[in-house]
Structure 1
Amino acid sequence: MKVFHGRADGAMSERRGETFSGTVWADPVMPATSGVTINTVFFAPGGRTYWHTHEQGQVLQVTAGKGWICLDGEEPQEIRQGDIVFIGPNERHWHGASAGSYMVHIATSIGKGTWQEEVAERDYPSGTAR
């Protein structure tokens, strides 16, 4: 058993950049332990991940705001506070805030993640999530 205590006083959030578009910040909740990583992620309006996959899947719990989740070959789907999303093993996808709202989610990633290219502007919904 391992206990991961909440954020220590004075701990800094991590600005994400290389595999994210826009302004995105993360607070690690649990470092990689037995192939599982948990992060709380804040996306400013329009902020989003690049295309990526997770070896054994990913679970997103949206805790605030509105955003989008998109599987390759499908239309983006709106997600909002209270939603839970399960992305299956090796499903190519991206997720992030809508253009008119921030979004915060807790991301539980299982297995190795593989980052790919930036989401093209034509593939990101330009309107705000309803």
Structure 2
Amino acid sequence: MQITRSSIGTAKGPADWFTGDVYIDSIAASPAPSRVQASLVHFMPGARTHWHRHPLSQTVFVTEGVGLCQRRGGPVEVIRPGDRVLFEADEEHWHGAAPDRLMVHLAINEGDAEHDVVHWLAPVTDEEYAAGAPAAD
């Protein structure tokens, strides 16, 4: 058993990965041979990731608020606490908060010596974000 006391501060999400205010807390970064990484990601209203893909897939589990997500070419979907979203390997997608609500999710990723955890792409434009965003009641 290993207990890691909270010693890593909350990090501001970098502008080349996110639009808006996003804060990240590292939850798991296990040593090899484990390949799992997990982060608790806090999106302020309207904040979102850029388009990106994960060579070995990604799961997000919503813990608070109301969010939006979209895979390339698909509809914008509303996500709420308890919802789990699996983005398939190499599926281009984005996720973030609804325009008027914050959203927090646990992001679970996998990486190894042959695969980066994520490949960042272009920002989601305001037009893309608003195009199909349903009302988040």
TM-score, normalisation: structure 2:
0.85
> What is the letter of the counterpart of residue 50 of structure 1?
H
Q: Which residue of 1 aligns with 2:57?
A: 57
What are the superposed Cα offsets for residues 2-40 of structure 1, whole Å, 9 maximum, x if unpaired? 7463534xx421001221000000000112643321000
What are the superposed Cα offsets for residues 62-86 of structure 1, whole Å, 9 maximum, x if unpaired? 0000011100011110001110111
1:5 to 1:66, Cα distance in 2 relative to 1, 3 A? same
C-alpha separation in 1, matches of 2:23 and 2:46:
13
Q: Are 1:12 and 2:13 an aligned pair?
A: no
Q: Which 5+ residue runs of structure 1 have no aligned equivalent?
A: none
> What is the letter of the counterpart of residue 7 of structure 1?
S
What aligned pairs does 1:1-130 form with structure 2 within 5 A after superposition? 3=2, 5=4, 7-8=6-7, 11-17=8-14, 18-31=16-29, 33=31, 34-111=34-111, 112=116, 113-125=118-130, 128-130=135-137
Q: Which 5+ residue runs of structure 2 have no aligned equivalent?
A: none
Alignment root-mean-square deviation, CA? 1.8
How many residue pairs get aligned? The number is 127
Higher percent of residues as strand: 1
1:59 to 1:15, Cα distance in 2 relative to 1, 3 A? same
C-alpha contact 2:49 2:96 (8 A) present in aligned 1: yes
1:129 to 1:102, Cα distance in 2 relative to 1, 3 A? same
TM-score, normalisation: structure 1:
0.89
Q: Determine what percentage of the aligned residue pairs are the same residue.
A: 32
C-alpha contact 2:39 2:106 (8 A) present in aligned 1: yes
> What is the letter of the counterpart of residue 129 of structure 1?
A
